[in-house]
Structure 1
Amino acid sequence: MRALLDTSLLADAEPRPLPPGTLDEGWAMSAVTSGELEAGVLLAPDGRTRSQRLRRLVALARGPLVLPVDRQVASAYAELRQSVSRMASNDLWIAATALAHGLVLVTADERQARLPLVESRYVG
């Protein structure tokens, strides 16, 4: 499966185990996730946490494709926003990226995993 990994999986200092086959066909992350991870470094409450988050960010920078928010993603966002009244905008932008690119959204966020229109996999 081609997967888009959500921030809820990538922000952890220790990666969560993923179901077998999740990353077999490659994976990507949204530019929104990249921004959230960078903000997490800057907003860290102490030096130790900042160092851990920075190491994780540097490791991820060598890995996946980062998909931009473009017109296609914006249209998918509008569709999702119409169908879901209460959800954080960034979560919808990430889901819209998966929808626009035909990727499976892999997330540790139960609400995000239940979004309409988006194929998803919940990793609890």
Structure 2
Amino acid sequence: MKLEDFDTFVFSQPGATLKQVLKGGHPKITSLTEDDFIVVAAGTNDIGQYEPGYVTVNQGIKELLAWKTEAKVFFLDIPYRYDMPRFNNDIFYTNMAIRKTITDYVGPLRINSLHVNELLVRPH
């Protein structure tokens, strides 16, 4: 397959929390098939705000798990911050919570987590 064989759609809400981005999904997701993929790269805006990051990220994950779609879903870990390393402990523990929630999930959504910090070789 070539890149031209694929359609790409980007849904972005700069400055939004994970819950705000994922709430209700997007109208397009209901028309996706089992041959389609959704990649969720979000959560950075949840860290360092007024509530603990894992709380707002967990709320967002619950929105995601309620989606009705046939597509495969890949949720990327929150990347570590080089510009604000003081948040990296929170990011580490939030990513652990994300992985546990996704691993423990039982339901119709086909979801996996991808450990982006390992792929990017970003140590904690």
| TM-score (norm. length: structure 1) | 0.31
Structure with the larger helix share:
1
Q: Which has the larger radius of gyration?
A: 2
| TM-score (norm. length: structure 2) | 0.31
